[in-house]
Amino acid sequence: MSKPLSLSRLFPILTWGRQYSKSKFADDSVAAVVVAIMLIPQSLAYALVAGMPAEAGFYASIFGLTIYAFFGSSNSLSVGPVAVVSLMTAAALSKLALTSPEDYLFAVFSLTFLSGIFLLALGIFRLGFMANFISHPVISAFVTAAALIIGFSQVQHLLGISASGNNLLELLTAILGSLQDSSMLTLSIGIMAIVFILWSKSGMRNLLVALGINQSLAIILSRTGPILVAIITATLAYSLRLDQQGLQLLGDVPKGLSGFGVPKFSLDLMSNLAGSAILIAIIGFVESISVGQSLAARRRERIDLDQELVALGASNLGSSIAGGFPVSGGFSRSVVNFEAGAATPAAGLFTAILITLVALFFTPILFWLPRVCLAAIIIVAIIPLLDFSVLKRSWLYSKADFAAVTITLLLTLLVGVEFGISAGVFASIFIHLYKTSQPHVAVVGRVAGTEHFRNVNRHKVETFENLLSIRVDESLYFANTRYLEELLFKLVTEKPKLQHVVLMCTAVNKIDMSALASLETINETLESLNITLHLSEVKGPIMDRLATTQFFYALTGNNYLSHNQAVEDLNDKVVVMSSA
Amino acid sequence: MSKPLSLSRLFPILTWGRQYSKSKFADDSVAAVVVAIMLIPQSLAYALVAGMPAEAGFYASIFGLTIYAFFGSSNSLSVGPVAVVSLMTAAALSKLALTSPEDYLFAVFSLTFLSGIFLLALGIFRLGFMANFISHPVISAFVTAAALIIGFSQVQHLLGISASGNNLLELLTAILGSLQDSSMLTLSIGIMAIVFILWSKSGMRNLLVALGINQSLAIILSRTGPILVAIITATLAYSLRLDQQGLQLLGDVPKGLSGFGVPKFSLDLMSNLAGSAILIAIIGFVESISVGQSLAARRRERIDLDQELVALGASNLGSSIAGGFPVSGGFSRSVVNFEAGAATPAAGLFTAILITLVALFFTPILFWLPRVCLAAIIIVAIIPLLDFSVLKRSWLYSKADFAAVTITLLLTLLVGVEFGISAGVFASIFIHLYKTSQPHVAVVGRVAGTEHFRNVNRHKVETFENLLSIRVDESLYFANTRYLEELLFKLVTEKPKLQHVVLMCTAVNKIDMSALASLETINETLESLNITLHLSEVKGPIMDRLATTQFFYALTGNNYLSHNQAVEDLNDKVVVMSSA
């Protein structure tokens, strides 16, 4: 899976750039416009979620997208501020109890920089597999809980009050405490904005098609819901001076790229933020490659996971130095980019150019943007992230997954994002190990007249008094060897006439050293009881490995190619039928 | 595996006590004498290893043995001070930098008490399986490294100098620094003691048998080596006043059970020692049940792991309150107990009575015992614990185990026992997860003329251009789903004429929710490429589980009972022979 490190691998742009064509340029340009329309309001909104000034969202988007275009291996991924990572940024910073805005900006720079370095390091050392240790249901539960927290964190802007917190309990307490200060004007604008954006997603498209506009243009226009709401509400606020009636506005957004500057470093701050930076890096990476991989596969393309780490790492370094905050490949934006026809990472570059133009020339207009409008955009954006069905699905499918899901969901909601995701990851690993430490072990017997062996408790099969056939449905490794030993000796004490034990190894994919030692102990102990131990149907790679040891010399019995052969060879002809 | 909690389960003595007979009493008495001969010098020696006054070893032995006799489920286990746990006690205490002996005693009480509570809690909540997460090779490596540290910690007494430390580096530095103060008298006595004890183990027995003493008495007498050395060196020290020539003596050992007292508690101290107490509890338990289980199995007896936790927990609580230190089932003493014929846990009770008599009446003699004699006893006792072969065996058998062994061995030696064992446990779990996250996946083809399918890279088999048969040799779970997806899409992009992918599931023991989601993604993605996905030979329990989901409705292909059936059904007759 690993290719040698080369310039063209490190810079995929050298490969796709050489084959760039007019038609690809056309495709990328259309996608860039569609994504920019979506990303402009989201950039501002997610900046506020991260606790940053709104314009930081522009810097993060512009530098994230541009740098990704040079390093990224996905033709569809749209890198920039995303909801969950922005929330995690705010959560990481809230622990530091910073007071001045300068300190906050500096801390966010450190966090973003660190997570960039961490991603780069994982990529360079080919450690992308570490992301695999977060299970799908845990990610679903975490994203759902994080989205809920984001949603509730926007309620304050919807009501025109001040009520923040790092978990659901804190948020609800704060909201209930200030409920009496609610502004009905703000709430009305907020609800109308939400309804309009929701309607625009499908209703507007149908309307436009009915009005005779062609399908693909209608789809593009239907994406303009959030930006239209922003324009309309800002115009209303300006023309009716709604700020004088208590409507909170976004206020001054500095023109240009003023955030860009020479970074300072504080080792103390960095060590305080290191844990958070690692979590942000991993969650951002997992979110990013999940969508990147599934979109690439739909066009028989492939993305290179280690290169994606390098690309995301570089994007975050860029965002940090530009005065942005952590970025990642956004789920919905990438899907939009893909569906709008993005052919190469150049689409992201063009999006960055469009956003730069907005940042340079249109920021004065943003002064009049009501904050409730951004809250409405965020609330609609997090709806697709909510997946409560994972609770029901995991309950029905696997109690182990359900336990991990519940732990992640509850702890994220009640304690906070960092604790929640960490607990979820540990829980899923622990539960997995626990399950494999108590494997399914079946005493098997022969279906009369065949060479098939089945569980004596499930099937009517023939067994023999002098013979115990055991099938272990798990690889043998340190966590389950003692369980197997104990179970085996229990079964042996129950059969007084026993002469032979045959371990059927069809489902054993691995025997580690602990298991080898355990098999040796079992062999010795059975020998002292005058019972011989046999193996059957051991797989090739395990045979190769066992052959390097003294095991087969010490084994009192044989190693049979087929289990039936073993039973034919060893049984005492006294057939006992199982009752099942 | 779990039985209801009953009085006879909690107190196994109620069961075996009712069937107690004269012949069992005779057997137990002989074993008690043999074990006491061995345990008396070891108690004193291990107390010094733990940094405790020598008499604390008596208290730990007496109370450990007595309480275990009431709660223990093993007829052979001999509970008391053991080398590794004593070293871990000293290591735990060294972190606290205590100065006064009273503080030290109090801290050891807290540590012993906590590890007793922890063991009891594990037993009550049936969490004994947690001990399974320490692999055999990691334990071997850890015990070897700990034994080496113990051995080097005795060099100071062998040389009559003062040189202590918590790891090999500290010890070697300290020894080299004080080497010029060595006492040749002490070293000579030490070397002679070591040689005599080593000789007594086999040479003395052979000599006694040659002199006409019967075999079993000879075996008992051959155990007296350490105690004979103690008596001889103490007599020499007394009669020749060797202390005036620089020989260090054990000094005053208080008579009776003066350590026994009402415990005090310090929450602060307890929380500082909690981590160490957990490590000591787990290592002690693992050592104890390893020997307990293998001895029980040799007589078709069984021990109850959760009851063993309760018994060891209670023994440690007893030892703590009596002024002792952490105890566990000792490996070599338990084997001696077993071989000397111990029939019930009463043997331990009788050993405790013998040691009590010594503690009450013979302690004045101990004043004259040279410390170098105890060092010699310890050095001989740790030799059987050294197992460097685990390095070679793991290197040959499994590089994964070798990595865990090396990490444990080196870090224990170079950093210390607590860091070493923790790193070893984490390393073995991580390596296991890493290996299963990159499972063996084979593209298989049919051996011509048969229904057998084999790896195309190992065997000359027939494959088909429109069909890809893949066998995954691992359960599918969160850590390997992304690997499988990526590998599959890579294989698919390599076969342009592909119409069908068949996943052969003979070795798949589990499909968790992440893997299910991944299979759904694979199915959808292949569908968008006009490739159908099929499964074959899915196991019963997995079928049951998948049947609760929508998976089989969404699956574009079929679920075949046998892989051959799938290939017969789907192939395009264009046979391609693999080159292997």
Give residue-wise pLDDT tens across range B435-492: 888 888 889 888 887 777 888 887 888 889 899 999 888 889 888 888 888 888 888 8
Which residues of A are less than 8 Å from B480 in CB distance?
A: 132
- The answer to whether A398 contacts B545, with C-beta atoms less than 8 Å apart, is yes
To test the contact with chain B by mutation, choose from A508, A513, A546 the residue with the greatest count of B C-beta atoms within 10 A, namely A513
- The encoded tokens of residue B130 equal 């947690």
Is pLDDT at B349 greater than 90 in this prediction? Answer: yes
Residue A149's pLDDT band, with cuts at 50, 70 and 90, is: very high
Flag if B483 and A525 touch (Cβ within 8 Å): no
Provide the strand spans (E) within B317-373.
328-329
Contact A478 B513 (CB under 8 A): no
Residue B2 lies in a domain: no
pLDDT in tens, A483-505: 888 888 888 888 888 999 999 98
**DSSP type of residue A202:** I
Residues of chain A with Cβ-Cβ distance to B453 below 8 Å are none
Confidence of residue A354 (pLDDT cuts 50, 70, 90): very high
CB contacts of A485 in chain B (<8 Å) are 293, 297
Q: Tell me the count of A-B CB pairs closer than 8 A.
A: 198
Average of pLDDT values for A139-168?
Answer: 91
Nearest to A330 by CA among A278, A304, A375, A295: A295
Asked whether the beta carbons of residue B437 and residue A489 sit closer than 8 angstroms, the reply is: no
Q: Token pair of A73, please? A: 């291996």
Give pLDDT, residue A1. 41
Q: Which residues does B255 contact at the CB level (< 8 Å), separation at least 6?
A: B359, B360, B361, B363, B364
Q: Is residue A148 situated within a structural domain?
A: yes
Q: Tell me the residue type at B26.
A: A
What are the φ/ψ torsions at residue B505 (nearest 5 degrees)?
-105, 25
Residue B358 above 50 pLDDT? yes
Could you tell me which of B147, B115, B119, B144 has the C-alpha nearest to residue B49?
Answer: B147
What total of structural domains would you count in chain B? Answer: 3
β-pairing verdict for A500-504 and A532-536: parallel
Residues of B in contact with A540 (CB under 8 A): 458
Q: Are B491 and B467 in contact (CB under 8 A)?
A: no
The verdict on a CB contact (< 8 Å) between B548 and A397 is yes
Residue A467 lies in a domain: yes
Are A536 and B384 within 8 A, CB to CB?
A: no
Q: Across the interface, which of B398, B435, B516 has its CB nearest the CB of A397?
A: B516
Whether B512 sits inside 8 A of A480 (CB atoms) is no
Cβ-based contacts of B489 with chain A (< 8 Å):
296-297, 300, 302
Report how far residue A428's alpha carbon sits from residue A436's, in angstroms, rounded to the nearest whole number.
Answer: 12
Question: Measured between beta carbons, which residues in chain A are less than 8 angstroms from residue B435?
Answer: 510
DSSP assigned state of A200: I
Mutate which of B307, B390, B513, B525 to disrupt the A interface (most A C-beta within 10 Å)? B513
Are A111 and A125 found together in one domain?
Answer: yes
Q: What Rg, from alpha-carbon coordinates, does chain B have? A: 30
- pLDDT of A254 > 50? The answer is yes
Same domain, B283 and B302: yes
Query: What is the rounded average pLDDT of the residues A205-222?
Result: 83
Closest-CA residue to A48 (of A273, A299, A253, A191) = A253
d(CA B434, CA B404): 13
End-of-domain residue from the set B400, B424, B456: B400
Residue to mutate among A125, A455, A512, A518, with most B CBs inside 10 A, is: A512
- Say what the pLDDT of residue A113 is: 94
CB contact under 8 Å between A398 and B434, yes or no, is: no
Q: In this complex, which of B440, B493, B509 lies closest to A473 when CB atoms are compared? A: B509
User: In the predicted model, is pLDDT for residue A3 greater than 70?
Assistant: no
* DSSP string computed for B461-472: -EEETTEEEEEE
Cβ of B435 and A510 within 8 Å?
yes
pLDDT band at B260 (very low <50, low <70, confident <90, very high): low
Beta-carbon separation of B539 and A129 below 8 A? no
- CA-nearest of B29, B376, B42, B74 to B198 is B376
| pLDDT at A2 (0 to 100) | 46
Nearest to A394 among B138, B477, B513 (CB): B513
Residues B359 and B421 in one domain: no
Does an H or E element contain B459, and which? none
State pTM to two decimals: 0.80
Q: Is the interface score ipTM higher than 0.85?
A: no
The domain that contains B559 carries what CATH number? 3.30.750.24
Q: Which residue has the tokens 């190769």?
A: A544
**Whether A490 and B529 lie within 8 Å, measured CB to CB:** no
pLDDT mean across residues, chain B: 87
Asked which of B414, B437, B460 is the last residue of a domain, the reply is B437
Check A486 against B131: CB less than 8 A apart. Answer: no
Give yes or no: residues A130 and A257 share one domain. Answer: yes
Q: A54 or A252: whose pLDDT is higher? A: A54
The predicted model gives A345-368 an average pLDDT of: 89
Determine the residue among B1, B2, B76, B136 to mutate to test chain A binding: the one whose Cβ has the most chain A Cβ atoms within 10 Å: B136
Please name the member of B131, B394, B493 whose beta carbon is closest to the beta carbon of A513. B394
Instruction: Identify the residue among B474, B512, B521, B530 best suited for mutation to test binding to A, counting A beta carbons within 10 A and taking the highest.
Output: B512
Q: Any bridge partners for residue B228, and if so which?
A: none
Q: Rounded to 5 degrees, what are φ and ψ at A355? A: -70, -35
H/E/C letters for each residue in A219-236? HHHHCCHHHHHHHHHHHH
Q: Are residues B349 and B460 in the same domain?
A: no
pLDDT at B2 over 70: no
Residue A395 counted as domain residue? no
- Of the candidates B137, B401, B548, which has its C-beta nearest A396's C-beta? B548
- Find all residues with CB under 8 Å of A189, minimum gap 6, and list them: A233, A236, A242, A247, A370, A372, A373
Domain shared by B529 and B562, yes or no: yes
How many CB atoms lie under 10 A from the CB of residue A22?
A: 7
Q: Are residues B355 and B408 in the same domain?
A: no
Asked if A242 and A188 count as a contact pair (C-beta separation under 8 A), the reply is no
pLDDT-derived band at A365 (thresholds 50, 70, 90) equals: confident
| Pairing relationship of beta strands A441-446 and A453-455 according to DSSP bridges | antiparallel
B133 and A478 within 8 Å at the Cβ level: the answer is: yes
pLDDT per residue over B143-200, tens digit each? 999 999 999 999 999 999 988 888 999 999 999 999 898 899 999 999 999 999 999 8
**Rounded average pLDDT over B281-289:** 91
A393·B513 Cβ contact <8 A: yes
What pairs with residue A577 in β-bridges? A462
pLDDT for B254 equals 66
Q: Which residues of B touch A432 (CB under 8 A)?
A: 477-479, 512
pLDDT, one tens digit per residue, over B65-112 is: 999 999 998 999 999 999 999 999 999 998 887 888 888 888 999 999
Contact by Cβ (8 Å): B327, B115: no
Sorting pLDDT into bands at 50, 70 and 90, what band is B127? Answer: confident
CB proximity list for B184: less than 8 A, separation 6 or greater: none
Q: Are residues B116 and B208 in the same domain?
A: yes
Contact A38, A334 (CB under 8 A): no
What pLDDT band is residue A5 in, cutting at 50, 70 and 90?
Answer: low
When mean pLDDT is compared across A255-269, A317-331, A465-479, B446-460, the lowest value belongs to A255-269
Distance from CA of A114 to the nearest CA of B (A): 24
Minimum distance, in Å, between the CA of residue B128 and any CA atom of chain A: 11
Same domain for A348 and A243? yes
- Predicted confidence at residue A403, as pLDDT, reads 93
Residue A15 inside a domain? The answer is no
Asked if A393 and B549 come within 8 Å (Cβ–Cβ), the reply is yes
Whole-angstrom Cα distance, residue A548 to residue B143?
25
B14, part of any domain: no
Place of tokens 């969950």: A84
Same domain, A142 and A118: yes
Q: Are A383 and A407 part of one and the same domain?
A: no
In a domain, B7, yes or no: no
**Domain end point (choices A388, A409, A424):** A388
How many whole angstroms separate alpha carbon A392 and alpha carbon B235?
78
Do B52 and B108 contact (CB within 8 A), yes or no?
A: yes
Provide the residue range defining the domain that includes A85: 21-388
**Mean pLDDT across the stretch B258-269?**
66
Residue of A523 and A539 predicted with greater confidence = A523
Name the percent of chain B lying above pLDDT 90. Answer: 40
A525–B297 C-beta distance less than 8 A: yes
Cα separation of B84 and B145, whole Å?
10
**Is A38 domain-assigned?**
yes
Mean predicted lDDT score pLDDT of chain A: 87
Residue B501: beta bridge partners? B468, B533
Could you identify the residue written with the tokens 């057998």? Answer: B452
Residue A261 Cα, gap to closest chain B Cα (Å): 39
Given a cut of 80, whether residue B298 has pLDDT beyond it is no
Higher-pLDDT residue of B131 and A416 is A416
φ/ψ of residue B393, rounded to 5: -60, -45
CB A344, CB A62: distance < 8 Å: no
Q: What is the pLDDT of residue A311?
A: 95
pLDDT at A540: 80
Q: Residue B258 has what pLDDT?
A: 54
Judged against a pLDDT cut of 50, whether residue A186 lies above it is answered with yes
- Identify the residue among A514, A530, A550 best suited for mutation to test binding to B, counting B beta carbons within 10 A and taking the highest: A514
Residues A367, A466 within the same domain: no
